[in-house]
Amino acid sequence: NYKQTKLNCFQVDPYCCQRRTPLQHHNKLLTDAFEILEENAEYIESSNDTKGYSRNLAYRRVLAVLRSLPQAVTSVKQIKDVKHIGGHSQKIIQELLEEKCCLEVEEIKRSVRYNKMKLFTGVFGAGVSTARRWYDTGMTSLNDVIQHNEDRSTAQKYGLAFFDDLNMPVLKAEAEQVKSIVKNITESILPGVSVTVTGGFRRGKTVGHDIDLLISHPKEGAEIGLLGKILEKLQQLNLILYGSHNKCTYSERHFTEEPRDPPTNSQMDHFEKWFGIIGLPKISTEKTVLIAENDASDKSIKDLVDLSKSEKSWTAKRVDLIIVPSSQYFYGLVGWTGNKMFNRDLRLYAQKELNMRLSSHGLYDLTKGCLLTSNSEEEVFKYLKLPVIPPELRNC
Ligand code: DCP
Ligand code: MG
């Protein structure tokens, strides 16, 4: 009957890559709470746990389901049989619906550990395990970390010194500004090149934490050696504050065989890339950009802090430049558009349901023993026997 149907109105496909998940959804009261639980579970879980059950992943799945629901949940009965929402999560949802807040979440929000871990993982170059080490050593502020004389990676030094700049949300206009700088430079080196803003911005986000640019050229192989030249130019223009250039070997670049097993948790690919920080001229300023003189790996953290606090005409921004050979472009585009959960399920689905192996480099049909080349994103979805989910609906 009607009432019964209404109560069980939420049926979801098991993999989030089968669902449409917009940025603005109907269950923000719930997802705000589960985001805290998910983050906190990540801070607590040790990396050894990830082979077995992961609470963090379980919460990420709950989040992905809630974000994809076509309506607001108003009664816990509606989600009684919904995939991925277990008993504990249902109790939390019930509490949130009845009380508008959840005790467990409120306790986490007040806890010192959660707040310090959130602060420390916000440092570029510091992952969860570094943050945990800082916390366990008794450090409670960024200043403590800066003062503490332990060996820090160059990335962490920059992350600490430019913490404020790097934690300012990156605006879409800034992403477009960086894209045109890179596009102009690249075009002057190699005409016909394409530069695409991917990551969250491609999924319709208006702010992000970094700028992810895919660089490719229609002529396979033309992109070889390109990144080094782009970086040289960026350096000459004094735009680079810090960077790490991962070159890749020929065999990794020319991916013709069965895709490598992607490491289970990180979905790192083998593209040639640069992860760095640029000093982006403030949009309204006409002053020349003067930033750290080139590779400042020998700069002391004090010099960097002074630089970050000086009156500067630029802001530090995180930028990723990824070189994608044209034959792998659409797989690279899907992988770098994300989001992470969408990628995770896409790969799991390909493996479990189709006996195919998907990575940012390609799709391999293990049954037929062949590689499936793709000339569009739509074709990737077609091979995977999935509806074409546009980027704006991949916000799982
Ligand atoms: N990616 C991934 N797995 C990782 C890192 C990245 O699948 N471990 C993919 C999916 C991401 C994309 O690359 O969506 C870009 O990575 P970001 O970390 O920049 O994530 P977003 O751009 O989605 O978010 P933000 O707006 O915070 O930059
Ligand atoms: Mg990004």
363 in the same domain as 258: no
| Ligand 1 touching residue 199 (CB < 6 A) | yes
Question: Annotated active-site positions, please?
Answer: 210, 212, 320
Count how many domains the chain has.
4
| Ligand 1 touching residue 200 (CB < 6 A) | yes
Residue 52 pLDDT > 90: no
- CB 175 within 8 Å of CB 201: yes
132 in the same domain as 58: no
Domain-located, residue 159: no
196 in the same domain as 134: no
Long-range CB contacts (< 8 A, 24+ apart) of 306-312?
A: 307/161, 308/161, 308/162, 308/164, 308/165, 312/279
Cis peptide, bond prior to residue 8, ω within 30 of zero:
no
| Ligand 1 touching residue 245 (CB < 6 A) | no
Q: Which residues have a Cβ under 8 Å from the Cβ of 231 and sit 6 or more positions away?
A: 240, 243, 245, 274
Strand partners, 213: 197, 321
Q: What is the pLDDT of residues 67-90, one digit of tens each?
A: 999 999 999 999 998 999 999 999
156, 153, 216: which is closest to 190 by C-alpha?
216
Domain-located, residue 87: yes
What CATH number does the domain containing 142 carry?
Answer: 1.10.150.20
Q: Which atom of ligand 1 lies at the shortest distance from residue 267's CA?
A: 3
pLDDT on residue 254: 54
Residue 259 pLDDT > 90: no
Alpha-carbon distances of 366 from 232, 273, 347, 354, 383, rounded to whole Å? 42, 28, 13, 9, 13
The pTM assigned to this predicted structure is 0.92
DSSP per-residue letters across 233-290? HHHHTT-EEEEEEE---HHHHS--SSPPPPPSS------EEEEEEEEEEPTT--SPP-
Among 250-259, 261-270, 291-300, where is mean pLDDT lowest? Answer: 250-259
Q: Which residue has the higher pLDDT, 291 or 344?
A: 344
Task: Tell which one of 343, 347, 393, 395 to mutate to probe ligand 1, the residue whose CB is within 8 A of the most ligand atoms.
Answer: 343
| Ligand 1 touching residue 275 (CB < 6 A) | no
Which residues are annotated binding-site positions for Mg(2+)? Answer: 210, 212, 320
Q: What is the pLDDT of residues 99-117, one digit of tens each?
A: 999 999 999 999 999 999 9
Strand partners, 150: none
Domain-located, residue 293: yes
Q: Which residue has the tokens 């959660």?
A: 114
What is the rounded average pLDDT of the residues 20-47?
95
Domain-located, residue 157: no
Domain-located, residue 163: no
What CATH number does the domain containing 39 carry?
Answer: 1.10.150.110
Residue 264 pLDDT > 50: no
Q: How far is the CA of 338 from the centre of ligand 1 (A)?
A: 6
256 in the same domain as 142: no
Determine which helix (DSSP H) or strand (DSSP E) holds 39, and give its type and residue range: helix 28-44
Among 44-58, 131-145, 244-258, 356-370, where is mean pLDDT lowest? Answer: 244-258
> Whole domain around residue 123: which residue ranges?
112-151
205, 185, 202, 182: which is closest to 320 by C-alpha?
182
Q: Whose CA is nearest to atom 4 of ligand 1?
A: 267
| Dihedral-angle region of residue 387 (phi above 0 means left; psi in -120 to 50 means alpha; beta otherwise) | beta
Among 76-80, 200-204, 267-271, where is mean pLDDT lowest? Answer: 267-271
What is the rounded average pLDDT of the residues 349-356?
97
pLDDT cut 70: percent of the chain above it: 88
- CB 242 within 8 Å of CB 296: yes
Strand ranges, E, within 122-171: 170-171
Domain-located, residue 158: no
The identity of residue 35, as a single letter, is E
pLDDT on residue 262: 42
Q: How far is the CA of 370 from the centre of ligand 2 (A)?
A: 32
pLDDT on residue 268: 79
Q: Whose CA is nearest to atom 26 of ligand 1?
A: 208
276 in the same domain as 260: yes
Residue 19 pLDDT > 50: yes
38 in the same domain as 174: no
CA distance 347 to 341: 10
What CATH number does the domain containing 359 carry?
Answer: 3.30.210.10
ipTM summary value: 0.98
Residue 295 pLDDT > 60: no
Strands 211-216 and 170-171: unpaired
pLDDT on residue 377: 98
Determine which helix (DSSP H) or strand (DSSP E) holds 316, and give its type and residue range: strand 314-323
Mean pLDDT of the chain: 90
Q: In a 3-state reduction of DSSP, which class is residue 313?
A: coil
pLDDT on residue 144: 96
- CB 178 within 8 Å of CB 317: yes
119 in the same domain as 236: no
